[in-house]
Structure 1
C-alpha cells in the first residue's frame, strides 16, 4: 500500500507540472497585491477542499482547471493533496507547456515551489517538494489538476 501511494504521489507531481529544475532565469514577480491574494486564495481553496474530502477536492480541481485543459483530469483514487507554496519562489514561466502539449496555455503562467502532501483518508502517505504551475487568465487563477496528461 505504501509503495503504491508513493508511486501515485510521484506520478501526480510529475504530471501536474511538478518536478525537477525549471529552466529560465529567476526574476522577481511584479504582481499587484490583489493578484498575489488570488494565488494565495487558490491554494487555500485547494487545501480546504481536501480537508472536506476527496470528492470535494476533485470537484474543485476540475472546476479550476485551466479552460484549455478541462478534458484532462484523473481519478485520484480517494486521495487528497495539501499544497504548501513557498511564495518567495513565485515567478513567471512564459515558456512552459503542460506535459505532452506543444502549446503554451493562454494567460500569464507562473511557477512556484511547493511541498505537496498526499493523504489517503486521514493518513499521510507521502510528501514531496516540487514546483506547480498556475495561470492568471481573465483575472482568474487556474491550475492544472494532478495527472494532467494522464
Structure 2
C-alpha cells in the first residue's frame, strides 16, 4: 500500500509540474473543424471506457493511441487506472508545445496539438487514490486523435 501511495503522489506531482493556472494556447477559431473537437472527445471517452475494463485494457489503449512519433516514450502505470474528464470548453490549439521529456532539440509533434483542462482520477483496484486538475495535450493527425501516455514518478 505504501508503494502505491508513493506512486500516486509521484504521479500527482508529475501532473502538477505540467499544470498552470490557465490553459495556454490559442482559442479555436469558429471555422476550426468540429471533427477535431469530436475526435478529442472520443479519445477521452475511449480512454475512460478502457479504464472501466481495467489496467490491462487501458495500457493497450494508451499504447495504441500514443502519438506515432513518441511510441518509444510509453510508461507502465502498473495496476493504476486513470479516468480523465476533459473540460471541452477549454480546448485550444497549442502550436509551440513539445513534450517536456523529449529533449532540448525536440520538434513540435506532427499534427495539430490541442491543450485542454482536465480532471484526473487515479484508481487502484477500483479504489480512488487521488484526484488532480491539470492540462493535457491531444494531437489530431491524419483524422485520428493521439495522446501522450503519462509516466508516474517516484
TM-score bucket of the superposed structures, by smaller chain? 0.7 to 0.9
Q: For 1:5-43, what per-residue CA distance to the aligned partner results, in whole angstroms no more than 9, with x for missing partners? A: 43233155268xx42256855423443232221111110
Q: Which of 77, 87, 112 is residue 108 of structure 1 equivalent to?
A: 112
Q: For 1:97-127, what per-residue CA distance to the aligned partner results, in whole angstroms no more than 9, with x for missing partners? A: 0012221100100000000110001100000
CA–CA separation in structure 1 for the residues paired with 2:23 and 2:41: 24
* Runs of at least 5 residues in structure 1 that lack an aligned partner in the other structure: none
CA–CA separation in structure 2 for the residues paired with 1:146 and 1:82: 12
Q: Are 2:134 and 1:133 equivalent residues in the alignment?
A: no
Given that 1:29 and 1:90 are in contact with CA atoms closer than 8 Å, whether structure 2 keeps it comes out as: no
* Runs of at least 5 residues in structure 2 that lack an aligned partner in the other structure: none
24 and 59 in structure 1: CA distance in 2 versus 1, 3 angstrom threshold: closer
Please tell me the root mean square deviation across aligned C-alpha atoms, in Å. Answer: 2.4
Aligned residues: 148
The two structures have a TM-score, normalised by structure 1, of: 0.87
CA–CA separation in structure 2 for the residues paired with 1:109 and 1:21: 19
CA–CA separation in structure 2 for the residues paired with 1:95 and 1:128: 24
CA–CA separation in structure 1 for the residues paired with 2:128 and 2:23: 31
CA–CA separation in structure 2 for the residues paired with 1:114 and 1:93: 15
